[in-house]
């Protein structure tokens, strides 16, 4: 194996060596279920979905854990606002999460633990932290003492002294140090609460990931992932908790994905500058969202814009058009995937999952295949079988790579049809109108009213619809 991963904690690319030869353990922080997911969430899910798929593709058995944070201030606030229960809010948004993830082709992880179902494990870990002198009780709360943990700040590159001077001095007499964070919180009346050695209360946010990763993956595991915004304080605190409890360094490779920006600002709920996955899918095919996000390296920031999504849709259309043409032309399952493009794909992905480079190679490959296809059509070539073999191997490679990136998974004809429909709706047209105009043009041509026929063609062209006269009838396409 020659996979290199940029490890956030060492700040360099490292050769990936899992704890066990053929098996990878990976934990990724999931969502807090209090609202619909936006494109920023889609990015994190897609990035780790592709990592999950790629690790499997190169032959690992992957144990992938992604949690649901279903107890949190945001959930409580939303429940209060809607005069309903936290349970009702989190159930609702777990349901919409699955709907959205299914539409954008996210594979189900091995385990999807919910925080509320792991309270005993969290209590147990907090007890161990108190015993080891890393945590202290402060009335109904339990606080983690950051000064008790030598490695605090290693992941984020922050030093406790610097952090302290940067902290706004909040008056919280429960904390010995303003950087100390809550492992357990005393709950107010009406809030979700569980029995604990420290009275009725609920867990702090960070402890759930330490307790659940340890339960499903063990005290030490291979990969921990999440958005870059989680490095501090969430992941820093996770290390402090897990390592504090066991004395062992819990995670070998830290992977963090970059943000989706709008006008150079991070897309987020709190800034209000977000687009939900649902909104975007009304206009663009779900795979266009994937292609757009994967066209950038996972650590780079991405500018969200309709223009970029539109372009991604067009690229996708090109691939599906090719695949559609290949149906019938080259038989399935006869060919092995083209080895040259497979090698290029692997070497791009082995370099810290460089999907941007991989897609660049794939686009170039498609251009070559299209020119082979044209050769086959136009020339009286004496090597039709050789060209068909190349096309067959090309198609197989595109589908194989697509499976790893979560692309080209639709039926080509279905994709092309949906694409057309979405686009004409945007152009303010509908299928019937276009068919009527094509009929009127056919009629005009029969009557040799050439000018009228041309006007109809021009009129449609201006609106973005292109007509193509075939032997048996006239078909229409979207101008891309
Ligand atoms: Zn987490």
CATH, residue 39: 3.40.50.620
CA of 414 to the centre of ligand 1 (A): 38
Share of the chain above pLDDT 70, in %: 98
Q: Could you give the number of structural domains in the chain?
A: 3
Q: Are 49 and 136 in the same domain?
A: yes
- pLDDT surpassing 80 at residue 380: no
- How much is the pLDDT for 330? 84
Q: How far apart are CA 239 and CA 142, in angstroms?
A: 17
- How much is the pLDDT for 170? 62
CA of 11 to the centre of ligand 1 (A): 20
Q: Are 210 and 345 in the same domain?
A: no
Q: How far apart are CA 254 and CA 246, in angstroms?
A: 19
Q: Is the peptide bond before 233 cis (omega within 30 degrees of 0)?
A: yes
- pLDDT surpassing 80 at residue 378: no
SS3 per-residue string spanning 200-263: CEEECHHHHHHHHHHHHHCCCEEEEEEEHHHHHHHHHHHHHHHHHHHCCCCEEEEEEECCEEEC
- How much is the pLDDT for 1? 67
- How much is the pLDDT for 271? 83
315 within domain boundaries: yes
CA of 288 to the centre of ligand 1 (A): 28
**Domain end marker among 236, 266, 296:** 266
CA of 291 to the centre of ligand 1 (A): 26
CA of 98 to the centre of ligand 1 (A): 19
Q: Are 183 and 121 in the same domain?
A: yes
Q: Please, what is the end-to-end C-alpha distance for the chain in angstroms?
A: 41
CA of 182 to the centre of ligand 1 (A): 15
289 within domain boundaries: no
CA of 224 to the centre of ligand 1 (A): 9
Q: Are 389 and 253 in the same domain?
A: no
Share of the chain above pLDDT 90, in %: 83
Q: Quick one: average pLDDT of 431-439?
A: 93
Strand 23-28 versus strand 61-66 pairing type: parallel
- How much is the pLDDT for 55? 98
197 within domain boundaries: yes
CA of 364 to the centre of ligand 1 (A): 39
287 within domain boundaries: no
Q: Which of 125 and 176 is assigned the larger pLDDT?
A: 125
pLDDT level of residue 31 (50, 70, 90 thresholds):
very high
Domain extent at residue 335: 305-413
CA of 225 to the centre of ligand 1 (A): 9
CA of 346 to the centre of ligand 1 (A): 30
Q: Are 406 and 434 in the same domain?
A: no
Q: Are 361 and 310 in the same domain?
A: yes
CA of 10 to the centre of ligand 1 (A): 20
CA of 233 to the centre of ligand 1 (A): 10
- How much is the pLDDT for 266? 87
**Domain end marker among 238, 266, 294:** 266
Residues with CB under 5 A from ligand 1 (ion): 29, 209
Q: Cβ neighbours of residue 212 under 8 Å, at least 6 residues apart?
A: 27, 65, 67, 113, 115, 118, 121
- How much is the pLDDT for 405? 98
CA of 436 to the centre of ligand 1 (A): 56
CATH number at residue 365: 1.20.120.640
Q: Are 252 and 131 in the same domain?
A: yes
Q: Quick one: average pLDDT of 232-243?
A: 97
CA of 234 to the centre of ligand 1 (A): 6
CA of 212 to the centre of ligand 1 (A): 9
- How much is the pLDDT for 107? 98
CA of 320 to the centre of ligand 1 (A): 37
Q: Which of 16 and 1 is assigned the larger pLDDT?
A: 16
What's the whole-number average pLDDT of the chain? Answer: 94
pLDDT level of residue 379 (50, 70, 90 thresholds):
low
Q: At what angle do helices 431-446 and 412-426 cross, to 10 degrees?
A: 90
Q: Are 175 and 51 in the same domain?
A: yes
3-state SS class at 114: strand
CA of 374 to the centre of ligand 1 (A): 51
- pLDDT surpassing 80 at residue 172: no
Q: Are 105 and 247 in the same domain?
A: yes
CA of 231 to the centre of ligand 1 (A): 10
Q: How does pLDDT run across 260-272, given as a tens digit for each residue?
A: 998 888 888 888 8
- pLDDT surpassing 60 at residue 215: yes
Q: Are 111 and 221 in the same domain?
A: yes
280 within domain boundaries: no
CA of 67 to the centre of ligand 1 (A): 8
CA of 30 to the centre of ligand 1 (A): 7
CA of 206 to the centre of ligand 1 (A): 6
Strand 201-203 versus strand 181-186 pairing type: antiparallel
Closest CA to 76 of 85, 67, 66, 64: 85
Closest CA to 343 of 362, 324, 321: 362
Q: How does pLDDT run across 50-86, given as a tens digit for each residue?
A: 999 999 999 999 999 999 999 999 999 999 999 999 9
CA of 250 to the centre of ligand 1 (A): 14
pLDDT level of residue 299 (50, 70, 90 thresholds):
very high
DSSP 69: B
- Integer angstrom CA distances of residue 259 from 48, 54, 126, 305: 14, 22, 32, 14
Closest CA to 57 of 408, 402, 391: 402
pLDDT level of residue 382 (50, 70, 90 thresholds):
confident
Strand 61-66 versus strand 260-262 pairing type: unpaired
Q: How does pLDDT run across 84-134, given as a tens digit for each residue?
A: 999 999 999 999 999 999 999 999 999 999 999 999 999 999 999 999 999
Q: How many CA atoms lie within 13 A of 152 on its CB side?
A: 23
CA of 28 to the centre of ligand 1 (A): 7
CA of 140 to the centre of ligand 1 (A): 24
Q: Are 73 and 165 in the same domain?
A: yes
């Amino acid at each position: 194996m020659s996979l290199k991963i940029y490890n956030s904690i060492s700040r360099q690319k490292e050769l990936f060596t899992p704890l066990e030869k053929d098996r990878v353990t990976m934990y990724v922080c999931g969502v807090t279920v209090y609202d619909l997911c936006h494109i920023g969430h889609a990015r994190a899910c897609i990035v780790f979905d592709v990592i999950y798929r790629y690790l499997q593709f190169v032959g690992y058995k992957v144990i992938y854990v992604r949690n649901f944070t279903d107890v949190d201030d945001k959930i409580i606030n939303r429940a209060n606002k809607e005069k309903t229960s936290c349970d009702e809010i989190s159930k609702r948004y777990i349901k919409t999460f699955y709907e959205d993830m299914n539409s954008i082709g996210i594979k189900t992880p091995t385990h999807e633990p919910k925080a509320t179902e792991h309270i005993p494990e969290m209590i147990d870990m907090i007890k161990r932290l108190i015993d080891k002198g890393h945590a202290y009780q402060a009335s109904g709360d339990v606080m983690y003492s950051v000064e008790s943990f030598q490695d605090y700040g290693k992941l984020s590159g922050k030093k406790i002294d610097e952090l302290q001077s940067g902290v706004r001095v909040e008056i919280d007499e429960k904390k010995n140090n303003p950087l100390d964070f809550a492992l357990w919180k005393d709950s107010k009346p009406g809030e979700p609460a569980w029995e604990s050695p420290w009275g009725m209360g609920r867990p702090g946010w960070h402890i759930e990931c330490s307790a659940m990763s340890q339960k499903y993956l063990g005290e030490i595991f291979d990969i921990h992932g999440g958005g870059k915004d989680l490095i501090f304080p969430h992941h820093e605190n996770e290390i402090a908790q897990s390592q504090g409890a066991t004395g062992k360094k819990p995670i070998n490779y830290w992977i963090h994905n970059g943000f989706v920006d709008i006008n150079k600002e991070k897309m987020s709920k709190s800034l209000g500058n977000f687009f939900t996955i649902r909104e975007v899918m009304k206009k663009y095919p779900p795979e266009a969202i994937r292609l757009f996000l994967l066209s950038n390296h996972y650590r780079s920031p991405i500018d969200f814009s309709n223009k970029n999504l539109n372009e991604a849709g067009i690229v996708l259309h090109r691939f599906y058009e090719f695949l559609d043409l290949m149906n019938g032309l080259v038989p399935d399952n006869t060919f092995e995937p083209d080895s040259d493009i497979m090698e290029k794909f692997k070497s791009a992905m082995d370099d810290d999952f460089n999907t941007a480079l991989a897609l660049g190679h794939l686009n170039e490959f498609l251009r070559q295949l299209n020119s082979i296809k044209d050769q086959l059509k136009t020339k009286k070539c004496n090597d039709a079988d050789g060209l068909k073999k190349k096309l067959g191997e090309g198609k197989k490679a595109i589908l194989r790579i697509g499976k790893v990136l979560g692309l080209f998974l639709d039926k080509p004809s279905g994709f092309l049809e949906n694409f057309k429909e979405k686009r004409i709706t945007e152009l303010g047209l509908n299928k019937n109108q276009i068919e009527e105009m094509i009929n009127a043009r056919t009629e005009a041509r029969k009557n040799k009213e050439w000018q009228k026929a041309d006007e109809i063609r021009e009129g449609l062209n201006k609106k973005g619809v292109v007509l193509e006269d075939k032997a048996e009838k006239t078909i229409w396409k979207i101008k891309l």
